[in-house]
Amino acid sequence: MRKKPDLPRQARKRLRKHAEKSEVIQRAKTEEALRESEEEYKYLFDNIPMGIYRTTPEGRILRANPALVRMLGYSSFDELASHNLEEPGFQPYYDRNKFKELLKNQNEIMGFESVWTKKDGTSLFTRESARAVKGKDGTTLYYEGTVEDITERKQAEERFRLAVESALNAIVMVNQQGTITFVNSQTERLFGYSKDELIGQSVEILVPERFRSNHSK
């Protein structure tokens, strides 16, 4: 008598082959997605105008994108990486111990402004955001973050400050609530108040008492 085929066994075999084929297809899709993600990251890393870095807590530079290398005036990553962030003069106005303490306690920092020294000795004003990447045991492995060059903005602010300070007229700035946010030196001389006494006060403090009722209407 002819033996009947073991249908359940054949079905299991077909299902196993189908599962293996699906697994291979899924693995290929995952690898392709990962490759595309890595390519996108590399493109951004190489072309974004903002500096990107990775350093050890001790200040050794592990990674820096071309934008950061250019910002600091170096010709290559290797030339930049030959320096340590904690060496004297690299960040003269930058309290790295404070930076590290903040990262230790908060794990991340947003908008940390400081001044770095470029290769030619000139100053680079920066706005930095960073986070601490830790291992399973809680030990900090490295810091990674972004650096924005705000030198032009700082220089413009300084030019504005000097122009305002040298003005012959009193200059007072207030917000929408009428609170004083800025006064120049001429304001101090004309009204007899110091900047500390005026900042945060209502602008009415500068209006003679006999006119205050009309001014507030």
Q: 3 falls in which pLDDT band (50, 70, 90)?
A: low
On whether the CB atoms of residues 194 and 187 are closer than 8 A, the answer is no
Residue-wise pLDDT for 125-180, tens only, equals 999 999 999 888 988 999 999 999 999 999 999 998 899 888 889 999 999 889 99
Distances (CA, A) of 97 to 93, 100, 131, 160: 12, 5, 15, 32
Pairing of strands 180-183, 140-149: unpaired
Tokens of 209: 């008492």
Position 88 scores a pLDDT of: 72
Most confident range (mean pLDDT) of 28-42, 62-76, 197-211 is 62-76
Q: What is the pLDDT of residues 169-198, one digit of tens each?
A: 999 999 988 999 999 999 999 999 999 999
Q: Residue 199 pLDDT > 70, yes or no?
A: yes
Q: Any idea which fold 48-151 has?
A: Beta-Lactamase (3.30.450)
DSSP 204: G
- Written as six digits, the tokens of 118 are 């470029």
- Cα–chain center distance at 153: 16
Give the separation between CA 37 and CA 33, rounded to whole angstroms.
6
Q: For residue 202, is it left (φ>0), alpha (ψ between -120 and 50) or beta?
A: beta
Task: Give residue-wise pLDDT tens across range 74-109.
Answer: 999 999 999 988 877 676 566 778 888 888 888 899
End-to-end CA distance of the chain: 111
Domain 167-215's class? alpha beta
